Structure 1
Amino acid sequence: MRSTMDDSGPLLTMDDLTVNLQVAGAQHTVLEHVSFELRPGEARGLVGESGSGKSLTLRAMLGLLPPNATVVSGLMEFDGQAFDLSQRSKSARRQLERVRGAGISMIFQEPSVALNPVIPVGEQIVDAVMRRDRMRRAEARDYAIHLMRLVGIHDAEHTVDAYAFELSGGLKQRVMIAAAVAGRPKLILCDEPTTALDVTVQQQILSLFTHLRDELGAGVLYVTHDLAVVAQLCDSVTVLYSGNVMEASSDLRAVFEKPAHPYTEALLRSTPDVDRIGRRLYSIPGSAPALGDRPPGCPFAPRCEYREDDCEHERVPDTSPIDGREVHCLHPVRQDASSVRLAKESR
């Protein structure tokens, strides 16, 4: 974990993001009051199980939600500009379009879907560069080759003319990253970009993100369910469950060493650790609530080992500051109890 954060103030502020999804004629809340900040040069992990709302958060920020999704509320401030994500007017859409790809870029989980299969991969970078920087085609091609080298494609002069189906998964992901940084963005959104890659290539891509972060001074918002990736890349973390923030902190190490929310502790306990060979891997009981079946109280209550009667029906507090972090829990984990539990399981 390496930080190049700028203390000049937030690059990005997300406030009260709430999103509804219409399924079978009924409205369901899939994100509820999600808020966080990101400074220049900071990498923040958005962590949680599948269906927690991580990818929806990124797509809402760029106005890329599916047609059956509606932003109920959400004020985003990026690089001094204010965006009301709940606005559906043409002017609001154009405002987002102006920063999409230039100020804010996004790297998707599956490059085979994101890359056009009938156009050489280099041309896809060239077109992006020409639109943003108004370069001539020959100049834009040279810059595309430079970007491909920057992301570790050693044979860039030949790869620039290749098609996506001719490249390995790791090379396609590097091409996607080159296209994402073509506009020299100040913020890079990463939607589990290493999930489909083998461990060796995953390590190379994570090292590349660290290098680009230093090179560009860009902020990174990294979506993953893999806490090991967060530990390697990120400075801060926001833990999501069923569309709600469970715990958040600008100090990643503090959260990993002494989690305050029962869900955060459960995620850490269920993470494999090669230094703890022989330890029985913990499994969080039950499963996340389905749409339309969220409990009236804390959404994690049915699976929580620390739950009390009030967790089942009382509203979770908007925030419970603990040691400088944000914890949404009626009964946060006692620091001494969590340390003892994690220590016992490490034996």
Structure 2
Amino acid sequence: MTEFFISQGMSAGFALVLASVIGILLIALPVMFAVAMVIYVDRKVLGAIMLRRGPNVVGPFGLLQSFADGLKVFLQETIIPSAANKGIFLLAPIITFTVALVAWAVIPFSETWVLADINVGLLYILAISSLSVYGITMAGWASNSKYPFFSAMRAAAQMISYEVSIGFILVCVVLFAGTFNLNDIVRAQEGFGLGVINAYVVHPLLFPMWVLFFISSLAETQRTPFDLTEAESELVAGYQTEYSSMAFALFWLGEYANILLMCSLNTLLFFGGWLPPIDWAPLYYVPGFIWFLLKTFVFFFMFSWIWATVPRYRYDQLMRLGWKVFLPMSLLFVVLISGWLMLTRYGGAA
């Protein structure tokens, strides 16, 4: 795109800036539209499992319900508690929302549809996702209320605990792929399973890592059964208790953008990303982004299904699972996978 603008007579600097802005909008706007749609899907799945209708009034089949909700919160008054730190109180939802969008810069929707195809894309994702805890912590502290503050402390402990195991799981994927580039990780999965299946998850050493990664994704995004930060029976609405209007909506949008991000990472790291499920020539005629979106939607459905059916953990169970189960298992599999690759790929050479 930059070369196109330069060919039209623009200076190199201005062409680069314009191309970057257009690329950002081409990623951010569809992600925001997808967030609105998956909120609708989330509510319809919950309704179907609970034997009720879900949204079905606003627009055909209720498709415009999310946009009506967005308009409602936009028109509401923003209320700031008198004892709150006003600057940090307003900055917290902005940080949460912005960080959730920034991470999408390196997600490849297909082999060519990626804003920044950098060599350390996986490290970038890990770094950006760890920043989301700041918005929640700032919200809980700035509210100057005990329930939001308890929620913020829970969120910090929970996200740090599960990011440790996620980091070791990502090491396992990197060992197999030999790269941190997300596009290259997807390409490495082509025909990986018996020369036919485009996925890492079929390997007996990587399947347990996907199970751990999927459960850690639930914990990282504070989804049921790990939604201890918003445990309404204990903490009212958690760190969002004192928020209203668009500030509350930014937390909501950021949460769903993070959920979609974790669903896409499950797709990219273990299920072949934009590759078709089977390494069969006719399937490659389907555009890669279609496969990517279908796989991501399946994972989002699983997120919704779990929300509707699994009871919430106690906090001590949550922390025990992260530190006493997931961390030792992920460390063990780093050793096992390293040994396996040394014996098979490198012939046992030191």
TM-score of the superposed pair, with normalisation by structure 1: 0.27
Higher strand share: 1
Give the structure with the higher percent helix: 2
